[in-house]
Each structure stands twice: as structure tokens, then as C-alpha cells.
Amino acid sequence: MQPDHDTIFAPATATGGAIAVIRISGDEAFTVCDRIFCGRTPLAETESHTVHYGLIVDGERTVDDVLTTVFRAPHSYTGENSVEISCHGSAYIVSEILRLLLAAGGRMAAPGEFTLRAYFAGKLDLSQAEAVADLIASSSRAAHALASNQMRGGYSAALDTLRDRLLHLASLLELELDFSEEDVEFADRGELQQTMEHIDLEIERLRNSFALGNALKEGIPVTIVGAPNAGKSTLLNRLLDEERAIVSEIAGTTRDVIEETVNIEGIRFRFVDTAGIRSTDDRLERLGIERTLQRIAQARIIIRVLDIEAFAAKTSLRSEHPVPAPDFEIPQSATLLTVANKIDLYPELVLPQGVIGLSAQNGQGLDTLRRALLQAVGSNALEQGDIVVSNGRHFEVLTIAHEALGQALHGLCSGLPADLLSEEIRQVIRHIGEITGRGVILSDEILQNIFSKFCIGK
């Protein structure tokens, strides 16, 4: 896939704002715009990075008063001549300007086409381009930090380092081929193994960070479980009230599953309130329980709400009493938080270690629960500037690279000749290159897949 030389245009802002921006990019961007823009100077004669007031005209008719911003190649997002028209935010005005741009010789851009051109112009590598889309979609401080780190290229630099080390190994091996008569080993096999294992560890670290990265990006799935009347809904409502939550219904899941999204200290949590679990013959209730178990399996954090009243009456809850075991299985990667709700009813009660005392009704203990939630996320890695992979495609590629490296290591240990071994290593290099797009030619399918997910105008 290579970009054509068309002059492309697209609205860059959503409808409904006071101002709308339309971007135009391509060799002929200034000429195309000058056919519909009437300012003091034709845009073709203006300096880069300047703003010009003027009119958008359709023959004799004025469509709008606008500001145009001029970027000259190569100093623009796409690396091409570019113009941004800021007009009044009317859907009608925008559609008129788009119509006029088409008539003036431009073509409507495909989703992500501006960024695709930026990628081909070498302005961004592939992982940075993907981060642009994530940045636009980011809705919490954590998701923003992930995208922003990736866009600034920290990620690409780390991958380049890995790639360079592998390239060095491959070339040492290839050097041996030139001296094959003399039976020399430029690449000490012990050192080679050590370096490859070290690189594999790095790849593994990146792969493992995906669980956190993905959860931070999409929102941490938290499932609230507990017997009916334990206070699950009250707890959720309390959290929502205090955090001014966004309520969202998830498409594609069961009708009655409502997810509530809450930002706590910059991290997005997706809370799901579930039906209680108990054995029952009721078919509908059984369905509800099945769904609860499903949500438990998907959760990263499970809040188990125990009704302190029922609990206290049964076992006279004191510190030496162990907490009853949950009647569901906790996924290996999930954290279980046990909450004893309605402590307002038994203020004197001593709770067992690790149980969070809570009154969902008056908010007591909520701060402790919030801290426990944040701690369970373990987002320190992100705050410490560690690389956290949040892109599913990168995770897949890293998995393939890890497998390929495993195969190369196996080859090394079983005495594979230098030429075959270097080919194995080059295979790993190619896989790593697929993340940033550096040093490899990517298939149209990969590129299309990535850029078609972008919005129009980006």
C-alpha cells in the first residue's frame, strides 16, 4: 500500500461545536483551497505556520468567514502541504465546504488516511500512529498516559534496542559463513544463548504488561458479588454518586447487564453489579447466576459484599472467626476484596484481618475500599514510566516473536548451523519490526486493519 498523490480532505471535528475544522493535505492542497478561499493573499503565496482570515465562496455566494492555517511540506502532520480551515460549526456549512473542496479537485479522505500519510512520510512509526488513535479515544488519565507514552516513542526506542541487539547477533553468525573454510566462531555460543535469553525476558516482560495495559485502556473490570440484599446496588450507587460516573450499557451482552464506569484517581473502573449466587431451581434465576459466574471469570477485581448483619447473627463476627470461603471460583489473575457491609449497624464489631468494613449507606469505609481498588490495579508500573503494552496487535506480535525466539534458542542448543540459526533470528527481528513498521515491509492487510479503525479526519 502506497499513498497516492491526491489532495485529500475531511472534517476533523465532531458536529455540534461552535467551530469546525476541515483539514486538507496533498501536493495541491494550496491550489485546491485557493479555488474556494478568498483572502488577502492566495494561500499558495503564504508562509508556513501562518493563519489567514478570508471567505469561502461558491461563485458569487459567500459560504462562511473562516480562518485558514497553512503548513508547508515537510513541516506538517502528514509531511505534505496542508491547510486547516476553521469555519463556523454548522453541519450545513461543513458539508458545503466539503462539496466545494470536492469540486475544486480534492477527494474525501478515508479513515486514518492523514495518519497513514504521516506514517509513509516517516513522521511516525506504526506504534506511534496507533497511539494517535488511542489518544483520541482516551477517557481517563491512565489511558491518556499509556497513549501519550507510546506516541512519544518510548516504546519504539525500546523495541529498536532489542532489534539492534538481534541484528548484531545475526550479523556475527553471518560473518562466520564468510569464513566457513576456517571453522571459526565469531559468535560465542554461550554468550549468544545468554543474550537471546535476556531478550526473550524483555519480550516476556512487555507481553506480561499487556494484562495491565489493556485493563487500564479499556477500564478495569470489577464484578460485585454477594447475596441479595447485602447492599451491592447501594455500594455501586454510592460510588457513582461520589465520582460522578458515566453510566453505559454494553452492547452485545445480556439485556440486563448494566455497566457503570467510575474514574478513581485517573483510573477507569468498570463495575458490574450481579445477581447473587445460591443454588436454586428457578430457571430464570439460574440464568442470572450463570451470568454472574461469567462476569466473575472476566473480572480483574472481585468485590465480595457480605451483609454484616446476617454474618454477625450467624457467627458473631469476631477477629478469630475466619471469613467464610467464597462460593465461587476466583480467577487466577483476579484480586478478591472482601467487604463487610452495613457496619453502621454493628459499630463495635471487630472484623477479621483483610475484611474491609463498609457502610454503603453512609459512606464509611469507602475510602479504604477505593485505596484497595487502586492497589489491586497495581498501576505503579505506569507511573514509574515503565513500558506498558496496551495494544492487542502488539501483544499478538510479541507472542509470535517470543515463540520464534524460543525456536531459535532451541536451534542454538541443538547445534543448528550458523546460516539456519541466523535465519531464525532474522525471523524474530521481522516480527519485532511489525510493531513499529521499521525495517519491514508490512502487508496491505495489516495497514488497512490498523488505519481503518481511525476516525475520519485523523
Residues that bind ligand GDP (CB under 6 A): 226, 228-234, 341-342, 344-345, 359-361
Please, are residues 127 and 394 in contact by the beta-carbon 8 Å criterion? yes
Cβ 410 to ligand GDP shortest distance, Å = 53
Length of the chain: 458
Q: Smaller CB distance to ligand GDP: residue 150 or 223?
A: 223
Beta bridge partners of 336: 302
Cβ 123 to ligand GDP shortest distance, Å = 52
Dist. CA 417–CA 452, nearest whole Å: 43
Q: Smaller CB distance to ligand GDP: residue 7 or 359?
A: 359
Cβ 238 to ligand GDP shortest distance, Å = 8
Q: Smaller CB distance to ligand GDP: residue 248 or 362?
A: 362
Alpha carbon of residue 369 to chain centroid: 26
Q: Smaller CB distance to ligand GDP: residue 230 or 289?
A: 230
Please, are residues 259 and 271 in contact by the beta-carbon 8 Å criterion? yes
Backbone φ and ψ of 222, nearest 5°:
-120, 125
Beta bridge partners of 262: 269
Cβ 233 to ligand GDP shortest distance, Å = 3
Q: Which three cell numbers stand for residue 32?
A: 485546491
Instruction: Name the nearest CA neighbour of 339 among 296, 300, 304, 376.
Output: 304
Cβ 373 to ligand GDP shortest distance, Å = 18
Cβ 435 to ligand GDP shortest distance, Å = 44
Concatenated DSSP letters of 188-250: -HHHHHHHHHHHHHHHHHHHHHHHHHHHHHH-EEEEEEESTTSSHHHHHHHHHHHHTPEEEEP
Q: Smaller CB distance to ligand GDP: residue 228 or 392?
A: 228
Instruction: Name the nearest CA neighbour of 166 among 431, 434, 457.
Output: 431
Q: Smaller CB distance to ligand GDP: residue 360 or 432?
A: 360
Q: Which three cell numbers stand for residue 255?
A: 439485556
Residue in the shown chain whose Cβ atom is closest to ligand GDP: 231
Q: Smaller CB distance to ligand GDP: residue 342 or 394?
A: 342
Cβ 275 to ligand GDP shortest distance, Å = 9
In a 3-state reduction of DSSP, which class is residue 132?
helix
